[in-house]
Every structure is written in C-alpha cells, then in structure tokens.
Amino acid sequence: MKLAHWLSVGVMVSGLVSGSTSANASDITLQLRQRPFGLSSPDRQRLADTTAEIAQARSSDAIRAISTWRSAAEQYRLLNDLEGQQRAYRALSQLYAQQQLPVEAEYALRQTLGFARVRRDFSALVQNYNEIGTVLLGRSSSTEAEKSFSEGLRIATDLGDRAGQGLGWTNLGLAAQRRGQDQVAIERLKTGIAFYQGTSDVVGEAIASNYLGDSYRNLGDAQQSAGAHLNALILARSSGSVGTQDQAMAGLASAYDRAGSTDSARNVLDQRLTLAMSGINTLARVSAFRAMAEFSQRQGDLAATDRYYQKAIAIASSSGLTVEVREMSQKLENLRRGYHLSPLRNGWR
C-alpha cells in the first residue's frame, strides 16, 4: 500500500463512530480554496500565535486552557493555518482526555487527523489513529478500536516507522487483552516489543512489557508475568518514566504475590510507595497506600491494613477523590465489622 493512499480525503476507517471525519477532511480541503478577510495579516497571525501561547501557559487549569485553545483554533481557521489548527485540536484532545470527556476527545482527535492528512503529516496520522483507537477502547469499543489501530499500523509499515509499528502492535495486543484473548495479545505484544527494540523508544517498550506481564498473569503464569514486569521496570527506570515504573511495580508485586514470594512482593510495594510519595501524583499515592492495605489484609495483618487504608482515605479526601474515598471507606468499614473490631482494639489505630 502506497503512502499516497493516505492522502485520499475519502479514505477513512470503516465502521468507526461516524463518517464525520471524511466530511471534516473535505471541509479542510475547502478551506484551502478560501481566502477570508485578513488571511495575510501579520497582526492576525501574531494574535493567533499569542492566544496559543496563553493556552499553553494555562495547561494546569484545564477549563481555561480548553476555552483559550478553542479561541486559538478559530483564529487559525480564519487564517487557513492548518498547522495551527492541527496543534490546537491536538492540545484540546489531550485536555478533554484529562477531563474524562471521551466524546469531545475523539472529536478533537478526528479534527487533528483530518489536518494531518491534508498536510501530508504521516507521523501525526500514525499517532492520531492510535489515539482515536485508545479513546474507543476506553469506551469499551474494542472492535472499532482495533480497526483504528490497524490503520495506524498500516501507515507506519508504509513509512518504515519501527516505533510506529511497535505502537500499533502494542495497542492491537491491548485490544485483544480487553476481549479476553490473552494468548493472541501475547503474540501481538511480543511483536510490538521486537519493533521497539530497534528504536530509542524505551518507554514504549516498557509499556508493551507491562501489558505482556498483565496477559501472562491473566493466564496464570506468574513467573512469566514477573519477568515481563521486571523488564518493564528496568526500562522505565532508565527512561525516568515515573508512571510506567508505578505500573511495573504494581504488576511485579502482584506476580510475586501469586507465586508465593510474599517478601519480594512486600519489598516491591514498599518501593512503589516510596516512589509515589516522592512525586506529586496524588492518585499514585492513593493507589500505593491502597495496594499496601490490600496486601496486608491478605497477610492477615489487620492493624497495618487499617493504617494504610486510613492514610489512603486521608490523601484521597484532601484531593477531592470522592469516588475513591467512598470505595475505601466502605471496604474498611466492612473489614472492621467482619472481624468485630473497633478502631482502638487489638492493635487497631
């Protein structure tokens, strides 16, 4: 398949949510024939660029950033600046994802994909198809997600983009895993890892190794699961990816625990907690304390279980994580009732 195929405005992923992306691409092509008032105005271009800079500076305030990026996107549209619109919608897609707005995120990604096609930005196409697939996968549309991942993989293959092929195979593996087809997932993930190993994308390889460990665990192979997660942890540490390290340690502790290596599991959970406390990610801290509580409960250490749950609840409460607070509070209450213990009896604090 030739790269020219991907420049055809009408070619889209069959069966995806709607045919709107083809329409969007047609709209973009039409924009190229238009010359709205002020198209060549340096002042309008500077205004649009300044608005984008302000939006970028507001990245920590998602609501304001979204509003500002929308304004920038409209200003770039009036200038027929496709690169600017592509950048604005990509930023919007990331902000919508952070705000857990999958429909809006998908729309922004489809806009980004349309601009990338018209601009012949093939690397962006690979990324966009994979990101759209990820959004669809999060909405439990694994079949549709797989179609999008496959499109991205085809383009990456045409480009000879090994990292892009690694990403495509990794995501296809994840889609199979979500459908409960872990043996298929393992083969795809191994293929993705092989492509990543020929690139500098260490984080991508670590992520694929974590997914591989998850599939081995699902199949009951604790030893292979531990090996995959340990490899992911080594790679993540070398790249400095804290989030990937956290996932690797969570998987590795689970694999050790299932294999009966409780001391090793405890050591990894301690390391995970130390890493979480050294960072600023509140959810990672809550997850680390919660994992320690669950591990302590399995070991029959009720006093430690109580302490870890209380710390996790306190952090979640101070950060407004109401769902987590409710879930953990209910678990702790049920645990206390089950053992007929009060918070101050038999070592509970």
In tens, the pLDDT along 270-285 reads 999 999 999 889 999 9
pLDDT of 332 above 50: yes
Residue 341 to residue 184: CA distance in whole angstroms? 47
- pLDDT tens digits for range 101-151: 999 999 999 999 999 999 999 999 999 999 999 999 998 888 899 999 999
- pLDDT tens digits for range 65-93: 999 999 999 999 999 999 999 999 999 99
Q: Catalogue the E-assigned strands of 29-160.
A: none
What is the end-to-end Cα distance of the chain in Å, rounded? 65
What amino acid occupies position 332? L
What would the 3-class secondary structure string for 228-259 be?
HHHHHHHHHHHHCCHHHHHHHHHHHHHHHHHC
Q: 26 Cβ partners below 8 Å, 6+ apart?
A: 9
Residue 207 to residue 247: CA distance in whole angstroms? 9
Q: Which two tokens stand for residue 114?
A: 């349309």
Positive or negative, the CA dihedral 35, 37, 43, 49 is: negative
Residue 345 to residue 349: CA distance in whole angstroms? 8
**Count of alpha carbons within 13 Å of 199, Cβ hemisphere only?**
19
Could you tell me which of 109, 184, 186 has the C-alpha nearest to residue 152? Answer: 109
For the ranges 207-216, 284-293, 329-338, the lowest mean pLDDT is seen at: 329-338
pLDDT of 190 above 70: yes
Q: Give the chain's radius of gyration (CA, Å).
A: 24
CB 107 within 8 A of CB 24: no
What predicted TM-score, i.e. pTM, was given to this entire model?
0.81
Q: How confident is the model at residue 204 (pLDDT cuts 50, 70, 90)?
A: very high
Q: How confident is the model at residue 242 (pLDDT cuts 50, 70, 90)?
A: very high
Does residue 343 or residue 299 have the better pLDDT?
Answer: 299
- pLDDT tens digits for range 5-49: 444 433 333 333 333 433 454 454 444 444 444 445 788 999 999
